[in-house]
């Protein structure tokens, strides 16, 4: 940690504490995508491109999209898919391992801590400022991505609850979460406008996002 903090401090002409803050921002953002994918994803490959977001149907009915179950069975920590969590909640059964709600809470915390760290370091940067601003933007992008998924997953759990309850109020409760998720994605789109061209795709004919209809 001392080595990388010093390296980052030197790169950006910052103080040693600021170098540690930049490292903390990297560490916090580095937790977000892996946690999102292993608990909410469809596949572990480029066909499931996390930064494109996910349809509600992918969250509440992943088997429709040729779910790669090995990701949950052997590539992720023990835990529950969104559909499993919703069923257990309805049946009042105990949860096992890492849960969708736990991950929603964790990734939003990682995003918040990352932004706090990078903003704390900003005033100390004295060189390579253009690169620092790109990094700073990346950190804010990750926060919006984390918040987008966290809100949408909470909406998905209420939609799934409606499947069991047939109570329209469950769908009404889901709406504010869904609206907030869209707002976070709008902010993400704005932060990436004119900045990232092909980061979310392989630009090849043989690898496509699995969309039906």
CA atoms within 13 A on the CB side of 82: 30
Q: Counting beta carbons within 10 angstroms of the beta carbon of residue 141, is it exposed (0 to 12), middle (13 to 18) or buried (19 or more)?
A: buried
Q: Is residue 77 part of a domain?
A: no
Angle at 198 between CA 51 and CA 127, to 5 degrees: 90
Q: Is residue 181 part of a domain?
A: yes
Domain span at residue 156 reads: 2-72+84-192
Q: Is residue 210 part of a domain?
A: no
Q: Is residue 63 part of a domain?
A: yes
Provide the number of structural domains found in the chain.
1
Q: Is residue 48 part of a domain?
A: yes
The overall average pLDDT reported for the chain is 91
Euclidean distance between the first and final Cα of the chain, in Å? Answer: 49
| pLDDT of 211 above 60 | no
Q: Is 126 helix (H, G, I), strand (E, B) or coil?
A: coil
| pLDDT at 133 (0 to 100) | 97
Q: Is 149 helix (H, G, I), strand (E, B) or coil?
A: helix
Q: In the chain, pLDDT over 70 holds for what percent of residues?
A: 90
pLDDT one-digit tens code per residue, 172-183: 999 999 999 999
Q: Is residue 207 part of a domain?
A: no
pLDDT one-digit tens code per residue, 27-61: 999 999 999 999 999 888 655 578 888 899 999 99
């Amino acid at each position: 940690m001392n080595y990388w903090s010093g390296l980052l401090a030197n790169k950006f002409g910052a103080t040693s504490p600021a170098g540690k803050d930049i490292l903390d921002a990297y560490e916090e953002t580095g937790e977000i995508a892996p946690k999102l994918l292993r608990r909410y994803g469809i596949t572990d490959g480029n066909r499931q491109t996390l930064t494109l977001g996910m349809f509600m149907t992918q969250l509440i009915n992943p088997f429709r999209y040729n779910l790669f179950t090995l990701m949950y069975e052997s590539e992720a920590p023990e835990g529950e898919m969104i559909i499993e969590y919703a069923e257990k909640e309805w049946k009042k059964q105990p949860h096992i391992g890492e849960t969708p709600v736990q991950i929603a809470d964790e990734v939003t915390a990682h995003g918040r801590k990352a932004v706090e760290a990078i903003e704390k370091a900003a005033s100390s940067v004295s060189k390579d400022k253009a690169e620092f601003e790109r990094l700073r933007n990346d950190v804010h992008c990750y926060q919006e991505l984390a918040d987008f998924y966290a809100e949408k997953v909470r909406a998905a759990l209420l939609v799934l609850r409606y499947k069991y309850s047939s109570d329209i109020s469950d769908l009404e409760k889901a709406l504010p979460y869904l609206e907030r998720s869209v707002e976070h994605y709008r902010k993400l789109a704005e932060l990436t406008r004119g900045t990232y061209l092909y980061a979310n795709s392989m630009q090849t004919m043989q690898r496509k996002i699995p969309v039906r209809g």
